[in-house]
Structure 1
Amino acid sequence: MAPSKKPIVRNGAYEEQHHAMLQKKDIEYEVIDPALTRCGIGPLTCAALQKFATIKVFCAVLCLVTVVSMIQGVYLIGVIRQLEKRFGLRGSETGLILSMDDFVHIGLILFIGHIGDRVNKPKVIASAVIFTALGGFLMSLPHFLYEGELNEQMHKLNPNLINKTQQENASFSMNSDQTGLCHLGVFNQSEQDRQCLSGEKRSGFSKNPGAYGIFLAAKVLMGIGGSPVSTYGMTYIDENVPKVSDSSFYLGLVRMTYAWGPILGLLLSGVMVKIPNDLKESHLTPEDTDFIGAWWLAYVFLPFILLILAVPLAFFPKHLPHARKIIKDTETKDHWRKTHTGHTVKDNLKDFFLSFGELLRKPAYVCLVINSTLGVYIIYTLFVNMPRYIEAQFQQPVFISNIISGSSSAVAGSVGIFLGGFILRRRKLKPPGAAKILAITLFLSTVGLGVAMIFNCPQDHLAGYTPGEPKWEPSLPCNGNCSCDLELYKPVCGSDKRSYYSQCYAGCSQQTGKRSFADCACTKSLDNSTVSSYNSTSSALKGLCRPSCMAVIPFAIVLAVVAFINSIGAVPSTILMFRIVGDSRKAFALGVNSFVYNLLGFIPGPIVAGIIVDTTCIVWQRSCGKTGGCLLYSADLQRQRMVGATVGVKIVILVFSLIVYALVRRQHWDDEPDSEDQKVKIEMKDHHSNDTSTKKLMTKNHTDA
């Protein structure tokens, strides 16, 4: 074992004073080879590049990489319905696509965390970003491979269509609005069954296993690329800041990008799904159920941005100049020496299990991991589904719902994350202080969610639906003789300001425009008279009615406040985990945390959340006896089950946070190395003379008299 090295200082008095202090505190400094702090790749390490080897530049590049990567990842959620329609994929299949990168992440994250102390983190991150970019390019490939299939399949639906315009107008469906009007008689179920068996009644596309396989492979590449970025990025920042108190500030900046990435991805998907799939003018509009947007377009330019950002990442050195590389105690010294010397496979496995066992013996760390895992269920149950929650609760269009949920998550959330990091840096809080902030913010955000449940707009405008019931029964006396098809859900808003299941269930016998209907028996009066009594003054328009309810405004305010308060605890939670496990275990601790919340959170989380959300559905997509996705949700059931489940999980998280506070409060936490009486800054300067260099390490001290 190599002997430990003492700091080299300019002045003999300084040397004696500092050496005595360091011996007293048992603090030792790693003397880093200056070659490991040179910015560049291979021989390209010119002096002009060295000014970029700072924590500020690295943090800026990492923030951009994180934002673009998250945009690319969350973007898929916004366009998943386009893929289902375009390639005939079922919900279970698209669910596997969404989760595939999590499976890969689980297989890699423990290994990545374990070798974190031995690799050049920025260069590994750069390689990972390239994998993410390749996965993005691969996601767009099915569009180019199967583009010709689009027109061919539309032509099969109607062989009489001879040009593209007619094909677009037909749009995969043989059921026009005219066939959905009210016609006197009894619905002929046997005729519908015959059409289903013969293939006359069909919509969408047949299975495309080739495209499905490509999507899975693309997500595998994204999973490989996404695994090291967060773990190595945050530990690299914490290891290379000049002062410990700066860590929370820079980590807060990175965590802010986690708030902006998802909403930007959803907004981008909202823009792309409005553009026709072939980028040409179409007679269809995004409001038409058969319209397919340019889902693939973002997967062309987002990977290019990632490839550009990978270049500066690859130039960063293993250690930044002036890095805070402190080995504080004997246990940490031994670990450092082990991880920087040669290892056999047996030694690596032994060290892995020893490290894992050491983490399990830290109950505060275990509680934080449980909190991270439970937090995933909150994300999927409520916040991922927030646009559809707002749409159902307040009858807002999808675009407005995205703006409301996005503004609260991105703006308020990012400000809260920044404030949390600022408080830690300004107050120089120790772990008990960070744990106290975490518990307080969890309590206040839980109360805020309870308040948010108060605001809603009643769904009493749905004709035939009783609020709180699990199904919408649209049959009324006024449409009893209309021979309506329950599988044809095309809601209309009647002149009586009530929403009807379809133009047929509104009793409409005429279509006067692309979006308007006339002679609607059920909209004639509030008594829902019989179909024989309709007159020309009753009408209806496509789409659900939008009641004049202003409850969405106070709800948006409360939601923003909840997001702000909840996000304040993000940085304290990360810093708390770092301080609990110690300097040498940070990468491994983050890796274990990521492994657990991916295995127990991100894989079952979407399934559990989906079950909860599905129990609030009152209108399902149906065709030829098969059930598809949900078309309309119950506002009351959503409020009771989605928000109720979220509040329940947050209460459990709050309990574990209080346990963490009680545990860390009992421990004694030494002052950090950059406190007033121990402030030590390591500087390294290269002195080049001919072809040789001299290694120097200066220690500056501000001591009391």
Structure 2
Amino acid sequence: MCVNVYVLVYAYVSVCVRMCGFLYQLFLAALSFVYFAKAFAGGYMKSSVTQIERRFDIPSSLIGVIDGSFEIGNLLVIAFVSYFGAKLHRPRIIGAGCLVMAMGCFLTAMPHFFQGHYQYETSMSHSLDNATESILPSCEKEAGSSMWVYVFLGNMLRGIGETPITPLGVSYLDDFSREENTAFYIACIQTVGILGPMMGFMLGSFCAKVYVDIGSVDLDALTINDQDSRWVGAWWLGFLVTGVVILMSAIPFFFLPKSMANFCTQTNDSTQLNSYITNGDPPYGDHFLSLVADFLPSLRRLFSNRVYPLIILTSLVAVNGFIGMITFKPKYMEQIYGQSASKAIFLIGSMNLPAVALGVITGGLILKRFRLGVVGAARMALGTSITSFLLLFIQFFIHCDNAEVAGLTVSYQGLPAVSYQPVSMVSGCNMGCSCSLRHWDPVCSSNGLSYASPCLAGCQTSTGAGKEMVFHNCTCVGEMLRPAGNSSVVLGQCPRHGNCDYMFKLYMGFTVLFAFVSACGGTPGYIVLLRSIQPDLKSLALGMQTLIVRTLGGIPPPIYFGALIDRTCLKWGTKRCGGRGACRLYEANAFRYHFLLKSRPSSSC
């Protein structure tokens, strides 16, 4: 009899151990997948800002506001989710957050189905004069110019849903893992999470090549391609894909227990075990008021820790530069190096982000291999931050010259001259053509000089149709002080001259090295935070860090980066019914100054 009881107890304990091991693996897999899913959506959003800017004809500063709406959503709920969520059923709260994120992705894509077809500006199909300004209000309303509000709200909803993942997920993981393994687990989860932006940027690159109204317009009739600054890709398609992926990531969290440690110490019968899985441990369920009363004292204890405010300040410096940089990096590569939006997005996803993933896992392995404590982790994070700043500073000197556009960056004789005045676009060679100075319809001459439109190039005749259209007898091309060439022009802006291709390759090499070095400091920063805070305050500490950093480091940077970038615009686009649209051409040197020198390394500590 005693032997049978012993066998039964042993069998039951074995089943519990196996189930605990399975739940550990399930949580690690689920948390890794949700890190991937949320980063997948975030990466796609970052890769699509240029397409969204062009589709809604809005300036970069407004794009910064839209991008910052994600952090605004976090700000609304992060403190309460971090504190109260730690006392409640953390996995289920994470699952509910995933459902909200998916709703946000679907809402973001909705404007495409409410708007009409995209009509890019061109000087060949219509001409605007000052009289059109009188119909501007009703016309812009008809064109759906305010539809960007849906993108703003969808991105905010995605930020609300993402709130519980990091503070509740990381604290839940740290509770049931061994102390020496936490750094490695976090590094693994973050590495899997890095695959999300990689896939998001890959998807963004694909969608940027697909025309926004694919399937409902004749693509052969288009006069622009994906290298044109007026091109808009199928930005909406990726948000539907990311919404489905996030929806799938929510499922496992509804099958996990409230506390892994309490679950694995259950030694009662299977009925109690099943009841625990279903209902969770309810010791705090009836004491909500006591949780509220303990919130402020917990905050006081947290900020009385001398290390914690220092971590917050260093994180603010890092995140301010990183968020501004990653938001407008594709545009930077377009304007400084003449790359297409699709290629720029692809290179970020295929080169920079893998370097980040390798850096994160390398940082975790170094911590585990050398058993670095809090001081060692802090030194490592500081060293990577300083090194990455030096690498970023070097990038400032690697650039191409301005794109040569007559009347904007060079004179009509090809001499260097930058002007913000529309009158400079008029010259003796096109003065009698009555050209519109507001349209952006670039053409390229055989001598490598671009013109803002065929009319401003002084062209008199044309042949062909669609993208194959060629303009002939262009008087401005014929009078250039350059070696004589064909006086015809073709659609599109001319490629960059000189060693721009070599400079771009050099720039990409430094950005990859910069991404790797700065990412090596990410995991040490997390460890410094976790090991410097009392165990019962870990979730609150992570949540408050997210709240403060995203409030001051996530919301302002895209807005002021965008506003600074707007100040460098040489040629604004024109909306279909009049009014200023998205910028078509920037002054490269001013753009580069604001983009690089306002940035900071992205380490966490």
Short-chain TM bin: 0.7 to 0.9
Equivalent residue runs for 1:687-702 within 5 Å: none
Contact 1:408 1:563 in 2 (8 A): no
- Cα–Cα, structure 1 residues 462 and 286, in superposed 2: closer, same or farther, change >3 Å? closer
Aligned partner of 2:206 among 247, 265, 271:
271
The residue number in structure 2 matching 1:253 is 188
In structure 2, how many angstroms separate the alpha carbons of the residues matched to 1:459 and 1:88? 24
Task: Map 1:335-350 onto structure 2 (within 5 A).
Answer: 347-350=290-293
Larger mean Cα displacement after TM superposition, 99-108 or 582-591: 99-108
Q: 8 Å contact 1:490–1:501 — kept in the other structure?
A: yes
CA distance 1:359–1:295, change in 2 (3 Å)? same
Tell whether 2:398 aligns with 1:432.
no
| Count of residues in correspondence between the two structures | 559
Q: Which residue of 1 aligns with 2:268?
A: none
Shift of 1:422: 0.7
Q: In the aligned structure 2, how far is the partner of 1:612 from the partner of 1:125?
A: 37
Deviation at residue 621 of structure 1 after TM alignment: 1.9
Shift of 1:578: 0.6
Which of 478, 496, 499 is the matching residue for 2:447?
Answer: 496
Q: CA deviation at 1:562?
A: 0.6
Q: 1:124 is paired with a residue of what secondary structure?
A: helix
Distance between the aligned counterparts of 1:296 and 1:441, measured in 2?
37
Structure 2 residue aligned with 1:544, among 489, 493, 499? Answer: 493
Q: Secondary structure at the match of 2:580?
A: strand
User: 1 CA distance for matches of 2:148 and 2:340?
Assistant: 31
CA deviations 1:465-516 (Å, max 9, x no partner) are 2579463743344333332211011222211112222222222222223342
In 1, are the aligned partners of 2:50 and 2:331 still within 8 Å (CA)?
Answer: no
Q: Which has the larger helix fraction?
A: 2
What residue is the counterpart of 2:22 in the other structure? 52
Post-superposition CA distance 1:143-176 (Å, at most 9, x none): 45x3xx627xxxxxxxxxxxxxxxxxxx646855
1:516 aligned to 2:452?
Answer: no
Equivalent residue for 2:159, pick from 201, 219, 223 = 223
Residues 174 and 201 in structure 1, CA contact (< 8 A), matched pair in contact too: no
| C-alpha separation in 2, matches of 1:281 and 1:542 | 20
Q: Does 1:177 align with 2:124?
A: yes
Structure 2 gap segments, 5+ residues each: 1-11, 266-281, 411-415
Return the alpha-carbon distance in structure 1 between the equivalents of residues 583 and 317 of structure 2. Answer: 26
Which amino acid in the other structure matches residue 551 of structure 1?
A: M
Gaps of 5+ in 1: 1-33, 40-46, 152-170, 181-190, 326-338, 530-534, 658-705
Query: Residue 625 and residue 133 in structure 1: after superposition, are their counterparts in 2 closer, same or farther (change >3 A)?
Result: closer
CA distance in 2, matches of 1:417, 1:468: 45
Q: Shift of the alpha carbon at 1:618? A: 1.8
The question of whether the paired residues in 2 share the 8 Å contact of 1:82 and 1:295 is answered with: yes
Superposed counterparts of 1:396-407, under 5 Å: 396-407=339-350
1:566 is matched by which residue type in structure 2? S
| Match status 1:123 vs 2:72 | no
Q: Which residue of 1 aligns with 2:595?
A: 642
Offset of residue 340 of structure 1 = 6.0
2:551 is aligned to 599
Could you tell me which amino acid in structure 2 is paired with residue 527 of structure 1?
L
User: Does 264-273 or 121-130 show the bigger shift?
Assistant: 264-273
d(CA) in 1 for partners of 2:585, 2:509: 25
Instruction: Note the 1:526-605 alignment, pairs <5 A.
Output: 526-527=480-481, 537-546=486-495, 547-548=497-498, 549=500, 550-605=502-557
- Alignment match, 1:301: 241
Give the letter aligned to residue 104 of structure 1.
G
- For 1:396 and 1:84, the matched residues in 2 are separated by 17
Letter in 2 for 1:177: M
> What secondary structure sits across from 1:481 in the alignment?
helix
* In 2, Cα distance between equivalents of 1:644 and 1:398: 23
Q: TM-score scaled to structure 2, two decimals?
A: 0.82
Answer yes or no: is the 8 Å Cα contact 1:373–1:601 preserved in 2: yes
Q: Letter of the aligned partner of 1:105 in structure 2?
A: N
Tell me the distance in 2 between the aligned counterparts of 1:468 and 1:382.
28
CA distance in 2, matches of 1:551, 1:567: 24
Are 2:62 and 1:62 aligned? Answer: no
Q: Deviations over 1:553-583 (max 9, x none)?
A: 1111111101100000000001111111132
441-450 vs 462-471, which moves further: 462-471
Corresponding position of 1:187: none
State the partner residue of 1:238: 174
Aligned to 2:591, the other structure's residue is in SS state helix
Q: State the shift of 1:136 in Å.
A: 2.4
CA contact (8 A) 2:33 2:193 kept: no
Q: Which amino acid aligns with 1:394?
A: Y
Report sequence identity in percent.
26
CA distance in 1 between partners of 2:164 and 2:365 (Å):
26
TM-score by length of 1: 0.71
- After superposition, the C-alpha distances for 1:491-545 in whole angstroms (9 at most, x for unaligned) are 222111122222222222222233422212222353289xxxxx99312122222
Deviation, structure 1 residue 591: 0.7
Distance 1:79 1:136 in 2: 13
In structure 1, what residue type is equivalent to 2:472?
A
Q: How does 1:421-460 map to 2 (within 5 A)?
A: 421-459=364-402
Higher relative contact order (CA 8 A, sep 6+): 2
C-alpha distance in structure 1 between counterparts of 2:57 and 2:486, whole Å? 42
**Structure 1 residues 537, 606: CA separation in 2 closer, same or farther (over 3 Å shift)?**
closer
Q: How far apart, CA to CA, are the structure 2 residues paired with 1:387 and 1:608?
A: 17
CA RMSD of aligned residues (A): 3.7
Distance 1:298 1:350 in 2: 44
Please point out which of 94, 105, 126 is paired with 1:136.
Answer: 105
Does the aligned pair in 2 maintain the 1:380–1:609 contact within 8 Å?
no
